[in-house]
Structure 1
């Protein structure tokens, strides 16, 4: 696997048929993301997207820019050959080129390989994989038959489940992006509240789906597909889920939780922890002594 990833360096990204080792195209994470797993071009596109995502979240912050440059992503520019990319990567890493190539580059390749394998493992043990959709050119009516109704209802509920999970994932990503951009605190808090609403809605959909069609699936594992969330007690989890049940609007969700601390103290504070650790505190900010409810309530709510 390490040799297969190292082989990609010669051309860099995007992945091409000439540079890719077939072993990479058989990874579970690649197959799961491919629009058509049986099509080589589709798997190559999926591998390319997977690598870009892993490099964007490279676990070693010191060498993240160097790893991206090495594989042809910004700060590298299109058309740079390996020699130029290696020199740029060494510069970003703060090393002399020869030392970088001999000592650092192998570690970066090994780290990316480990991330690829971990990604594949996550898909291997995923409780459910999102269904692939194909274009439909003609109406597909449901026959007036109990079996057909049940199949249609299951697909309907499955679509609602994945819609909710992806909506929650989008909002959790938005929070992380805003924190990384060091956006205005009120904007981050608003996004965090929206993420709580979407996450709780996804959990409600997971409960509905598993109860009706898949009792063997674990609700927490399904919702975890949306992304990382602050640790919650069973009671807090239940309270958020209850507030979002029935497909309520965001405003209703916030209103249901008005006066409670789970949304501010636990959820929002947990998501803003990365921001709090690098900014000064004041009496109006979390972490500044005083009440544990210092995190501002949803900016869209009065009172």
Structure 2
């Protein structure tokens, strides 16, 4: 195994210290090595406020544990940090016992052999998250309560600035709307929901994703032609999507341009059975839902 860097060692040690009390993270248990990670700072409503970064760290850890990549030890990792199947208020010894049971190991073996690896995995996931934020050219703008009306001066420069903020807000609104629907699809698949419910939600996700891509193209063309990130890299922030060819991605985008409604989007793609299959079957064929095998029905976007 490659030697860890000092930063990695520091983050691993910080996660281990956090484990003593588990979640929720509090200012007393939060470590600067974690609070200063780029992904945590970027998510904080007020990056300069330690309490705000503490809340961001707590939310990030909960999301990480909810999507823990090792399915065998996912429940054990959650229990170790005080999330279900553990119960609130349980001390570390009790949580370790619950985690060991979930992992199918004897408690001593779990604490000595498995727990350190889970801590390292969580630390590396936090570092990878920070790296993704470091590489991202754009971060969603933070909002603060308005203390009063802020009229725009009748000046070309002021109009340009306002238009840029308007387009940036539209871009992130579309990206977050797409993310919400992509998460909804994954949640329904995980719940083994009715196939038609999954398909309808997947189509809504396609519409939202295509609208986000259209906004990303519009924004980068007008305001960020020299930006390192392309429109596709920006819309990728919404989350995982089935693999599409460039032509298929363009066709979806065309159907969503101009603020098209879901009904208009579906009507524009009514005869695109192959495209519909590529999108919907891409979700149903994922390993997270092996019992959902795609068939050749419902290939249309509807």
TM-score category (smaller protein): over 0.9
* Aligned CA distance change for structure 1 residues 85 and 280 (closer, same or farther; 3 Å): closer
Q: For structure 1, which runs of at least 5 residues remain unmatched after alignment?
A: 288-292
CA contact (8 A) 2:273 2:299 kept: no
TM-score, structure 2 normalization: 0.93
Q: Is the 8 A contact 2:207 2:262 kept in 1?
A: yes
Matching residue of 2:243:
231
Residue 242 of structure 1 corresponds to 254
- Could you tell me which residue of structure 1 aligns to residue 222 of structure 2? 212
Secondary structure of the 1:231 match is coil
1:89-111 deviation per Cα after TM superposition (whole angstroms, max 9, x unaligned): 00100110000000000111011
Matched, 1:120 2:130: yes
- What is aligned with 1:271? 283
- Whether the aligned pair in 2 keeps the contact of 1:179 and 1:274 (CA below 8 Å) is no
Contact 1:193–1:263 (Cα < 8 Å) also in 2: no
- What SS is found at the alignment partner of 1:266? helix
Where does structure 1 differ by over 4 angstroms across 4 or more consecutive aligned residues?
A: none
Q: Structure 2: how far apart are the matches of 1:262 and 1:207?
A: 24
Between the aligned partners of 2:176 and 2:274, the Cα distance in structure 1 is 23
Question: 1:52-89: CA deviations, max 9, x gaps?
Answer: 00000001001000000000111111110001000000
TM-score (norm 1): 0.93
Counterpart-to-counterpart distance in 1, 2:53 and 2:287: 37
Pairing 1:154–2:164 present: yes
Aligned counterparts of 1:83 and 1:37: Cα–Cα separation in 2: 34
Paired residues of 1:62 and 1:93 also in contact (CA < 8 A): yes
1:271 to partner: Cα distance: 1.3
Kept after mapping to 1: 8 A contact 2:27/2:54: yes
RMSD, aligned α-carbons = 1.4
Match of 1:290 in 2: none
